[in-house]
Structure 1
Amino acid sequence: MRFDLVPKPSTVEDRPRDVRGYPVPAITPWDGEQPQFALTDYGRSADCAQQRLCSVCNVLMPRGPVWRVVGGAESAAIAEALAAGRPYRNMAPTMEGPGHRACMLYASMVCPYLARPNARRGLTAAQPNELTEHVVRGATRGALGAVVGFADYEFAVTPSQVLFRFLDVVEFLPHDTADAHLDELRAELARGGRGPAASAG
């Protein structure tokens, strides 16, 4: 689905655009006039963490659940835990921050890497380490992605990076291709971003 046909949250509508018209997420750094989509800006990410701002639109997230988009390995682990009736506990931190439900549904559909299982990270992606091995340049997302709601998040701002940890799955919306979320995104926008009743199913 073309990105310009995906309905936008009003806060995303207000974001700066790249030359193609893609809205640029709040935590994306710029090199002159060019947003660096494969990278994360340290200061912007720290602001999002400390001030509870959405990493996509930079607007305050209310107290309560937060959402993020996850790739193949984490989606599979969450699905397995939920199917077995176990709580999902991944204590490994990530550098990918949380956001509003509508913003993450939108991001899952318009980011090529998140939207399709065979899409690859750009060649400008960060060099891998133990925290960024899931964003290795040229890596594919994997067979299953998901938009996941969590009860809350924790964070640590270190001298070199901002780390997030997510607690207690409250909603799990898996996808092969993310246009499966189109109806859910439309419904979320119609609710004004208030979200549905929390559910992990």
Structure 2
Amino acid sequence: MPKPPTVADRPQDGRGYPVPAITPFEDGQPQFARTDYARSADCAVRRLCSVCGTAMPAGPVWRVVGAGEAEAIGAARAAGRPYRNLQPTWEGPGHRACMLYASMVCPYLGRPQARRRVLDRGTARGATGAVVGFADYEYAVLESQVLFRFVDVVEFLPHDDAATTHLAALETELASRPPKERS
């Protein structure tokens, strides 16, 4: 599977999986199902991608959403209504390519039958998910967590199985970058 170069440059776990920028380490091992507060706050304040940790330019940001939010966004768009998540989330934004990639490699984000092992243990993602582009994001850095809200949907890419659905979009996204950003 193609990997954004900034993701390929991330530290990897023993299996070769890249470790997202907001993932904490414990005893030298990444804790994929958890979020490091300080790293998440740094990404929010400095407008860094929560996956690769590099700067996001002004303009749209993306995130991967689960079934409930994907269905709400899809219904709003089908009805011609705007969508705004009024419920804040602790999941930060990222680059389009990074979120497409994350949706495919993270078992929970990518497959409807996947279940969480740590947070909300046993909770299934649900029938569908989506990679969603938003015009911008808002954040609040609180004592023990960082919360995000996203405004104005600019792209909605629903999926059942993300690897099947988003591979072509990721390949196109990576191919559209200047040559120095491809390798």
1:181 aligns with 2:141: no
1:36 aligns with 2:31: yes
**Percent identical:** 72
Q: Which has the higher mean CA deviation after the structures are superposed, 104-113 or 86-95?
A: 86-95
1:191 aligns with 2:170: no
- Aligned match of 1:99 in 94, 97, 103? 94
Counterpart Cα distance in 2 of 1:151 and 1:137: 32
Letter in 2 for 1:156: A
Counterpart Cα distance in 2 of 1:121 and 1:18: 19
Name 1:63's counterpart in structure 2. 58
Letter in 2 for 1:108: S
SS at match of 2:132: strand
Give the drift of 1:89.
1.9
Q: List alignment gaps of at least 5 residues for structure 2.
A: 179-183
**Deviant stretches of 4+, over 3 Å:** none
Give the drift of 1:37.
0.7
Counterpart Cα distance in 2 of 1:115 and 1:33: 26
1:139 aligns with 2:123: yes
SS at match of 2:151: strand
Name 2:2's counterpart in structure 1. 7
TM-score (norm 2): 0.95
Give the drift of 1:142.
0.4
Name 1:25's counterpart in structure 2. 20
Letter in 2 for 1:14: D
Name 1:45's counterpart in structure 2. 40
Name 1:155's counterpart in structure 2. 139
Give the drift of 1:138.
1.5
Letter in 2 for 1:152: D
Give the drift of 1:137.
1.5
TM-score (norm 1): 0.87
SS at match of 1:174: strand
Give the drift of 1:32.
1.5
Letter in 2 for 1:153: Y
Q: Could you list the per-position Cα deviations for residues 53-98 of structure 1 after superposition, in whole angstroms to 9, with x for gaps in the alignment?
A: 0000000000000000000000000000000000012211000000
SS at match of 1:165: strand
RMSD: 0.9
Matches for 1:51-90 after TM superposition, within 5 Å: 51-90=46-85
Q: Could you list the per-position Cα deviations for residues 105-124 of structure 1 after superposition, in whole angstroms to 9, with x for gaps in the alignment?
A: 000000000110000111x3
Give the drift of 1:160.
1.0
SS at match of 1:114: helix
